[in-house]
Structure 1
Amino acid sequence: MGNTAMGKTARLLPLVLTAAALVPLPHHPTTPEPPAQDTSYQEIPLDGPSVQARTEPYGMVGIIWPAGVQGVTAKVRVERDGRWTGWQPLRVEDEHGPDPKDPEGTQPSAPEGIERGGTEPLWVGDATGVQASAVTTAGTTIAGAKMVLIRPGVLSSDAEESAQVETTSGRSPYPMPLMVSRKRWGADERLRAHNGADCVRPKYSSTVLAAFVHHTADRNDYTRTQVPAMVRAMYTYHVRSRGWCDLGYNFLVDRFGRVFEGRYGGAQLPVLGAHTASYNANSFGVALIGNFEQTAPPAAMLESTARVLAWKLDANYRSPQATIVLGGSRLHTVSGHRDTKATACPGTQLYTKLGWLRQRVNALMGGSFATPVYRYARKLGFRNIGQPFWGEHATRTGWATYFATRDVFYSVATGPHSTQGAFRTRYRQLGAGSARLGLPITDTYQVRGGARQKFQRGWLVWDRGDRQVQVVYGRTS
């Protein structure tokens, strides 16, 4: 893993792409999912140092205030089964969220039109009363502060262990782990339009350089069946309360070792998240659900986190033991949130496990990159083809990696070859790796009057006369 471009170090300027520039890529269903049953969202003004209210049942609570307010101390206690809990501090975390240069939820069409500051949300299960406090360091109240109560409702699939869907498998690179999709945890895709039409389409960075490990600073005693509702509530809080486009994290892992797809846009792609402000571009965020300041994360949780990291880093040819330059700082490829800012995240007990995670990820990846696609890309030269955008993944009949300027394909029958320029665009339009044309068996080559590229069951042909890439089906021998 010592290659300069893809191993020990990498320096890359952030590049944000829109989905329209990337078609065709993995299909993302846009049919809105029905909301969970018995859902609600409520904001209650905090017009004093402490406000208490009896409420309809809710499952998650947080406190928000206008953006720009600093030095906030927040706490909450809730009523469950007719009894009040003790006061619990809420973590005030302004370093989660979008990059300052790419704000979310600030479009003119957004209902509130501004992003808001706030605490991390707290899962309370089933509460019927709340008392909350949010004051400045001087002890004064905060104009415009509100407590947010979210009832995520119940879906029939919440209790289904089969909510994990089968994913890509294969010998190399490290396979995508089992994952609970957005559809299966009940994401209401209509919510992404809440803060403006610009939020509906996902945004992408140019590659994956690093991973940031977080904790949600939530409770550690949740049940298996509560987790989908927790994720739905977190999604609602990030969008409606904080003003973001979507759930901030790219992936979440629960204490039972289950992995959940986070932000919309395709788990295999470098989706621009809102997890580590100023460092979101060219990275992805994995949040462990719970609070790991005093409590160590369970072994199953750490192992599943390692598998997510191994899959994403191996597909993009990144060493988990390397350092990279990101956001102007030199960081480990696998870093904790606190490596970028003065924050407690991901909690001391999880942060001390990062060394173990790097070693475990390296072992899962086999310690080196040796796939035919990677070797061919090195032969072409990473300076020439750019960074991987859609990391190495299985096609219908082989493997592929989409780099900045070329797409490289491999199968045992064809060997490794690439498409580029107008040929790449046309091949993508056909559905790269499609059964009808097959995989490339040559790279593009020049002929009199134009250029050609052979595939298993035909050609792509470009002539100077019409300047269009045409498809010709038939035997290539």
Structure 2
Amino acid sequence: MPRIVRMRGLLATSIGVTCAAALALPLTSPATAAAVRPAPTAEAGTEAARAAALPGSTQSLPLTPLTRDRALGSADRGTRRTDVHRFSLLGVVWDDPDAALHGRVQVRTRPAGGDAWSGWQDVETHNADHGADPGTAERTSGHVRGATAPLWVGDSDGVEVRVHPDASLPAGLRLELVDPGAAAPVHVPVAPRSRALPATATAALSKAERSASAANAPLARLGATKIPALNREQTQRELGTKKAGKHRAAPYIGPRPSIVTRRGWGADESMREAGFRYTTTVKAAFVHHTATGNNYTCAQAPSVIRGIYRYHVRSMGWRDIGYNFLIDKCGTIYEGRAGGVAKAVMGAHTLGFNTNSMGVAVLGTFTSAKPNSATVKAIARLTAWKLGLFGANPKGKTYLKSGGGNLYAKGKNVRLNVISGHRDGFATECPGKQLYGKLGTARSTAATYQGR
């Protein structure tokens, strides 16, 4: 029988699958889940209406034994479901964030409204290297779970997963099916700085939306979906770094790139934890790939980000999306974790090195696929500007103190490239061999943008 469980305020459906007959059990619909909530106050009712405008859901399905390997003392696990709600992104999670899944996870999906199944795809199982540092409030919240990397599969309504272990599997294995929602963000017109936006343009913002947007002042107006690009002179003028007369400051900072805000990609601000957390400065940028696959279009990128956001928060138990910025295959830059794109926001991206750094994730998998020039250029443009705000040289070296990981002990001062790959701080494949090989180009291009 279906049973309803509450996970951090989210009503999720957990369906026991013990035999073939169980596959016919229906999932609880989102409407049914919403119906059991307490009667809202006027303010809560407004928040509920806003949440309804940003649809999205997570289905959690336990993985049950399929076969048993007596030598390992562990069973293959999996499930096959053809009665699920539509989803576009998936991953496997388990209870203990410190436990590793040693084995192979494969999935195949059925496109929504279709009959043909996809081929089997591997899901990246080594994902613990992305996350909050050991001992931090986010890591020790009691909500964090172990997880594979999320995989983007496109609009689907059927799924089959199989997990073959190389050792005993962690407890509580379940498949997470994420619907990122399809609502388009509200457009807020760009007005001259001397004019205020109409009250109607910002009146519909919730408290959380207003807070996330206000963190980007004065770069963009409240409720803006995009932070506009500036040339280098405009960027320097905005920072007040140019002085009158012959002698003027010569800051090394690249022109500010255009950045799609959280409102621009449709973030449901009610889902993350309230408030923001900051580190002291930004001395380095760690480049990642999301390992979500490359089968997305640029028009789908906001949906991919909403899916990752929901997976990080609802499935993995983080306070917000882990990365500070994301970049798609067309070179579009997106704001990640809330708190202000020009500020030193504490992320959860490079285990052991989240303090005084930022995480930049490229949407896709670059183990064998090569990133295109638009992606590499976007990395350079973003880092030239953001690192320049904090006086960092993209071609230089810096020291970061390790918070603990599998390469460097906690407390060790580590010399790193100012633009590093994730694997420089943790033994991992991320950001993939092909993207990692382009970081030298990104460093030199970013330095050129800074005028070095």
TM-score, length-normalised on structure 2? 0.68
Match of 1:118 among 140, 147, 161: 147
Determine if contact 1:216/1:290 at 8 Å carries over to the other structure: yes
Q: Which residue of 2 aligns with 1:315?
A: 389
Distance 1:71 1:58, change over 3 A: closer
Cα-Cα RMSD: 2.2
- One-letter code of the match for 2:416? L
Q: Which residue of 1 aligns with 2:334?
A: 260
Q: Which residue of 1 aligns with 2:123?
A: 90
1:146 aligns with 2:174: yes
Determine if contact 1:272/1:280 at 8 Å carries over to the other structure: yes
1:188 aligns with 2:268: yes
Distance 1:159 1:201, change over 3 A: closer
- Tell me the CA shift for residue 158 of structure 1: 9.6
- Tell me the CA shift for residue 128 of structure 1: 1.0
Could you give the per-residue CA deviations for residues 268-298 of structure 1, whole angstroms, max 9, x where no partner exists?
Answer: 0000000001100000000000111111111
Q: Which residue of 2 aligns with 1:41?
A: 58
Q: Which residue of 2 aligns with 1:398?
A: none
Query: How many residue pairs get matched?
Result: 325
Distance 1:337 1:76, change over 3 A: same
1:358 aligns with 2:387: no
Determine if contact 2:380/2:445 at 8 Å carries over to the other structure: yes
Q: What are the equivalent positions in structure 2 for 1:228-247 lying under 5 Å apart?
A: 228-247=302-321
Greater strand fraction, Structure 1 or Structure 2: 1
- One-letter code of the match for 1:134? V
Q: Which residue of 2 aligns with 1:50?
A: 78
Q: Which residue of 2 aligns with 1:437?
A: none
Could you give the per-residue CA deviations for residues 205-261 of structure 1, whole angstroms, max 9, x where no partner exists?
Answer: 100100000001122131122111111111010001111000000000000111000
- One-letter code of the match for 1:45? P
Q: What are the equivalent positions in structure 2 for 1:390-409 lying under 5 Å apart?
A: none
Q: Which residue of 2 aligns with 1:99?
A: 133
- The separation in 2 between residues aligned to 1:146 and 1:50, in whole angstroms, is 9
Distance 1:114 1:156, change over 3 A: closer
- Tell me the CA shift for residue 51 of structure 1: 1.1
- Tell me the CA shift for residue 38 of structure 1: 4.3
- Tell me the CA shift for residue 37 of structure 1: 4.9
Distance 1:114 1:227, change over 3 A: same
Q: Which residue of 1 aligns with 2:399?
A: 325
- Tell me the CA shift for residue 75 of structure 1: 2.1
- The separation in 2 between residues aligned to 1:41 and 1:164, in whole angstroms, is 28
Match of 1:78 among 89, 92, 109: 109
Which secondary structure state, in structure 1, belongs to the residue aligned with residue 302 of structure 2?
Answer: helix
Which ranges in structure 2 are unaligned for 5 or more consecutive residues? 1-45, 66-76, 191-224, 237-252, 403-412
- The separation in 1 between residues aligned to 2:109 and 2:186, in whole angstroms, is 24
Q: What are the equivalent positions in structure 2 for 1:273-352 lying under 5 Å apart?
A: 273-326=347-400, 327=402, 328-352=413-437
- The separation in 1 between residues aligned to 2:362 and 2:107, in whole angstroms, is 22
Determine if contact 1:47/1:141 at 8 Å carries over to the other structure: no
Which secondary structure state, in structure 1, belongs to the residue aligned with residue 86 of structure 2?
Answer: strand
Determine if contact 2:152/2:304 at 8 Å carries over to the other structure: yes
Could you give the per-residue CA deviations for residues 82-134 of structure 1, whole angstroms, max 9, x where no partner exists?
Answer: 12222211112110000112141644xxxxx3310101111111111111133
- The separation in 2 between residues aligned to 1:35 and 1:177, in whole angstroms, is 32
- The separation in 2 between residues aligned to 1:245 and 1:105, in whole angstroms, is 9
Determine if contact 2:286/2:357 at 8 Å carries over to the other structure: yes
Determine if contact 2:284/2:417 at 8 Å carries over to the other structure: yes
Distance 1:134 1:35, change over 3 A: farther
Q: Which has the larger radius of gyration?
A: 1
- Tell me the CA shift for residue 156 of structure 1: 2.7
- Tell me the CA shift for residue 136 of structure 1: 3.5
- Tell me the CA shift for residue 329 of structure 1: 1.5
- Tell me the CA shift for residue 72 of structure 1: 2.6
Match of 2:228 among 166, 170, 188: 166
Which secondary structure state, in structure 2, belongs to the residue aligned with residue 311 of structure 1?
Answer: helix
Q: Which residue of 2 aligns with 1:415?
A: none
Q: Which residue of 2 aligns with 1:69?
A: 99
- Tell me the CA shift for residue 159 of structure 1: 11
- One-letter code of the match for 2:261? S
Q: Which residue of 2 aligns with 1:203?
A: 277
Q: Percent identity?
A: 40
- The separation in 2 between residues aligned to 1:35 and 1:364, in whole angstroms, is 43
Could you give the per-residue CA deviations for residues 30-88 of structure 1, whole angstroms, max 9, x where no partner exists?
Answer: x9764555422111011221211111211110100122222432221111221222221
Determine if contact 1:255/1:297 at 8 Å carries over to the other structure: yes
- The separation in 2 between residues aligned to 1:152 and 1:36, in whole angstroms, is 12
- One-letter code of the match for 1:123? W
- Tell me the CA shift for residue 184 of structure 1: 1.1
Distance 1:204 1:339, change over 3 A: same
- The separation in 2 between residues aligned to 1:165 and 1:34, in whole angstroms, is 24
- The separation in 1 between residues aligned to 2:120 and 2:428, in whole angstroms, is 22
